[in-house]
Amino acid sequence: HGIPVSIISDRDPRFASNFWMSLQNAFGTRLDMSTAYHTETNGQSERTIQTLEDMLRACEIDFKKGRVNHLPLVEFSYNNSYHATIKAAPFEALYGRKCLSPICWTEFGEAQILGPEFIQETIEKIVQIKQRMQAACDRQKSYAD
């Protein structure tokens, strides 16, 4: 949330344009360029992108309807899944508490709000997405080891 202190770019010429330079100056941010062929610079973002792509691909295969329809569900699942690097879910790390949403209200007996069938179907999808996410993390870990 908010304006970043700095943006790390892979030397894409668009980030060196007058537009970006004036935007950086206006916001008081800094543009840092990575060195060529230095994969460690953007490795974390690459891993995150790969995980999200895997999650979207799984949704597309398992639930049909195309990727765009599943973006909110994937975002919700990703942001509320435990991440070993931060030892919490991103939502919890950012706000200091677990996320309470209509999907999670079933834990508190509030299934009547959206209808039990919708909630159960969404919970099943979230569980499946989280399982796929864990499989993607395990696969990425095996590449690093």
CB distance 116 to 109 below 8 Å: no
Q: pLDDT value at position 59?
A: 74
Q: Model confidence at 108, in pLDDT bands (50, 70, 90)?
A: very low
Percent of the chain with pLDDT over 90: 0
Buried b (16+ CB within 10 A) or exposed e, 28-40: eeeeeeeeeeeee
Residue 113: pLDDT over 60: no
Nearest 5°: the CA angle 65, 68, 74 is: 100
Mean pLDDT of the chain: 75
Is the entire prediction scored with pTM above 0.85?
no
In the numeric block, which tokens belong to residue 76? 């919700």
